[in-house]
Amino acid sequence: MEASLSVERYGGRGLPWFFDQNNFDCFLDEVEDPRFKDCPRVGNYRIGSYWNGTTDHNETMKFINDRIDWAEKHIKQQIWTAVDYYRLLKEWDLNPPYPIEENLPF
pLDDT averaged per 10 residues in sequence order, the chain, 106 residues: 78 81 64 74 78 75 91 92 92 75 66
Cβ atoms 67, 42 nearer than 8 A: no
- Spell out the alpha helix ranges (H) of 1-106: 2-10, 57-91
Question: Considering the entire predicted model, what is its pTM?
Answer: 0.69
Q: pLDDT at position 10, please?
A: 74
Q: How many angstroms separate the CA atoms of 81 and 64, rounded?
A: 26
Q: How many angstroms separate the CA atoms of 57 and 4, rounded?
A: 7
